[in-house]
Chains A and B, each alone.
Chain A
Amino acid sequence: MDLDQLILKFQQKDERAFESLYNMYSDSMHGVIYNIVRDHNIAEEVMQDVFIKAWHKADTYSSKKGRFFTWILNISRNAAIDKTRSKNFKKSKQNLDANFFVDILETSDSLDNKTDAIGVSKFVNKLAKKCIEVIELLYFKGYTQTEASETLDMPVGTIKTRNRNCIKELRSMVLN
């Protein structure tokens, strides 16, 4: 089925369409959330909340405003960040900003868990550090171009072109 049609059915509260979209995006969202919260149980809980929220506010999505993936990615990042700002969370976790998504790929259990991740992690480790930084901020953390340029201390235009080149490299690695 065409993605646009699938999303339309999802917006009409079709349970099967919801399940299809869940299967397409849940791993990705879980990865983004886990990268932020760094706790298996909390990541699980937040990810479930995200899809429940998506179901309830499905009618607020419009393809004219952006990609469906981007829409749910936004919900996920915001939910995960909200979680890290809660009082209980702050007590137990510290210095999360120091971690990049590549840490996860370097740990052994991720390699045991997903065969797909093994393939991706092999390539990602070859990515230049400057690529990892910019991808981390723009996609995993949801930074704006300006925020990223401030964090990485480089011009806004450079962020844009560097990101373009890094994603190009990533595409050549993970897409056939």
Chain B
Amino acid sequence: MDIKAYIESGILELYVAGTLSKKENKEVYNLMQQHPEILQEVLEIESAIIKLTASASQLKNNDSLQNIKQALGFNINDGSKVISITKPKYNWLTYSGWAASIILALGLLWTINQNNQLRSDIQISETQQSLLETQIANSKNSLIEAKNLISVLRDNNITQVPLAGQGHFADTYAKVYWDKNSQRIFLDVLGLPEPPEGKVYQVWSLKLSPLTPTSLGTIDNFITDENKIFEIENVNESEAFGITLEPAGGSESPTMEQLYTLGVVTSS
């Protein structure tokens, strides 16, 4: 068989076009298996026709393949690409999300801590302030008392009565400042020792003839008072003043064995 003449006849072009009979198709197929040059010829004809027909293709939609796959029920979601693209995104978002929330939490804790610290500072300051206010008030009171005392001491109408130590208590002393107009005395007992427990000093106003003692009261806060000057009411026409040590609560009459100091009012 003349292969070249067979090729030149143009039957292979019609074979590719699909216009041959079944018998002719079978014949070309068998010859292609036997003669590689015939197969090669067919491939080239086919290739040229494919190029030519493809050139008439206009605006072919790229979604067509997806549509076909969908219509055929292909597993079009098998794309591992989709996963590999979304996964790093997901991780990045997650990490930054966690980081942001941790930073936020730390920030909140720090703020709360700061807040508590400041509150405690304010409390300390307030306590200090109230302490200082108390001290100022105390100082003011002390100043008033001191001024009061000074004014008393400077007053001409005040009678001074020194009380001298008696008997065993010769080294003790006291002093009475008697303001007759306002019927009160200021008793300075800095020269007396602290009374033992269960005992108190009792102040007496005395008439000398006959000797009549009148209690002016006990000095109950002797130990706690700082300047040891006590203001005591005195309505008596006193001729002398005495101080005795008595059991707590005081006595009806002075215990003469425990007479510490005694002083007579000298008429001025």
**Which positions in A face B, CB cutoff 8 Å?**
15, 18-19, 22, 24-32, 34-35, 40, 43-44, 47-48, 51-52, 55, 63-67, 69-71, 73-74, 101, 104-105, 107, 109-110, 113-114, 116-117, 120-121, 124, 135, 138-140, 142-145, 160-161, 163-164, 167, 170-171, 174-175
Which residues 128-187 of B sit at the A interface, judged by CB distance below 8 A? Answer: none
A171, closest chain B residue (CB): B48
Taking A69-B16, A167-B13, A171-B45 as contacts, is the C-beta distance between A117 and B72 under 8 angstroms?
no
| B58 contact from A34, A69, A142, Cβ within 8 A | A34
B42 and A175 contacting across the interface, CB-CB below 8 Å: no
B141 to chain A, nearest CB (A): 104
B71, closest chain A residue (CB): A52
A77 to chain B, nearest CB (A): 9
> Which one of B4-12, B196-204, B231-239 is at the interface?
B4-12
Taking A40-B59, A104-B56, A144-B19 as contacts, is the C-beta distance between A120 and B64 under 8 angstroms?
no
A73 to chain B, nearest CB (A): 6
| B29 interface residue (CB < 8 Å to A) | yes
| B13 contact from A34, A66, A105, A163, Cβ within 8 A | A163
Q: How far is the CA of A23 from the CA of B63 in the complex (A)?
A: 13
**Which positions in B face A, CB cutoff 8 Å?**
8-11, 13-20, 22, 25-26, 29, 42, 44-61, 64-65, 67-69, 71-72, 74-75
Taking A28-B53, A120-B52, A164-B10 as contacts, is the C-beta distance between A70 and B16 under 8 angstroms?
yes
B133 to chain A, nearest CB (A): 92
Q: How far is the CA of A22 from the CA of B65 in the complex (A)?
A: 8
B52 and A67 contacting across the interface, CB-CB below 8 Å: no
A67 and B55 contacting across the interface, CB-CB below 8 Å: no
> Which B residues are CB-close (under 8 A) to A44?
60-61, 64
> Which B residues are CB-close (under 8 A) to A109?
58-59
A66 and B18 contacting across the interface, CB-CB below 8 Å: yes
> Which A residues are CB-close (under 8 A) to B17?
70, 138-139, 142, 163
A174 and B51 contacting across the interface, CB-CB below 8 Å: yes
A65, closest chain B residue (CB): B25
Interface of A is mostly: helix
Q: How far is the CA of A25 from the CA of B68 in the complex (A)?
A: 14
> What are 12 A-B contacts defined by CB distance under 8 Å?
A26-B65, A28-B49, A28-B54, A44-B60, A51-B68, A65-B29, A66-B15, A71-B18, A120-B55, A161-B10, A164-B8, A175-B44
A22, closest chain B residue (CB): B65
A116 and B60 contacting across the interface, CB-CB below 8 Å: no
> Which A residues are CB-close (under 8 A) to B16?
67, 69-70
Q: How far is the CA of A51 from the CA of B54 in the complex (A)?
A: 16
| A15 contact from B18, B53, B71, B74, Cβ within 8 A | B74
Q: How far is the CA of A70 from the CA of B42 in the complex (A)?
A: 11
> Which A residues are CB-close (under 8 A) to B10?
160-161, 163-164
B173 to chain A, nearest CB (A): 126
> Which A residues are CB-close (under 8 A) to B25?
64-66
Q: How far is the CA of A30 from the CA of B54 in the complex (A)?
A: 7
A161 to chain B, nearest CB (A): 5
A56, closest chain B residue (CB): B72
Q: How far is the CA of A145 from the CA of B72 in the complex (A)?
A: 36
Taking A67-B46, A116-B51 as contacts, is the C-beta distance between A101 and B65 under 8 angstroms?
no
> Which B residues are CB-close (under 8 A) to A140?
53, 56
> Which A residues are CB-close (under 8 A) to B11?
160
| B9 contact from A15, A66, A160, Cβ within 8 A | A160
| B56 contact from A52, A101, A143, Cβ within 8 A | A101
A70 and B29 contacting across the interface, CB-CB below 8 Å: no
Closest 8 CB pairs of A and B: A164-B10, A31-B56, A120-B55, A31-B57, A27-B54, A117-B55, A30-B57, A70-B18
Q: How far is the CA of A18 from the CA of B29 in the complex (A)?
A: 23
A114 and B55 contacting across the interface, CB-CB below 8 Å: yes
Taking A52-B68, A73-B18 as contacts, is the C-beta distance between A167 and B56 under 8 angstroms?
no
A45 to chain B, nearest CB (A): 9
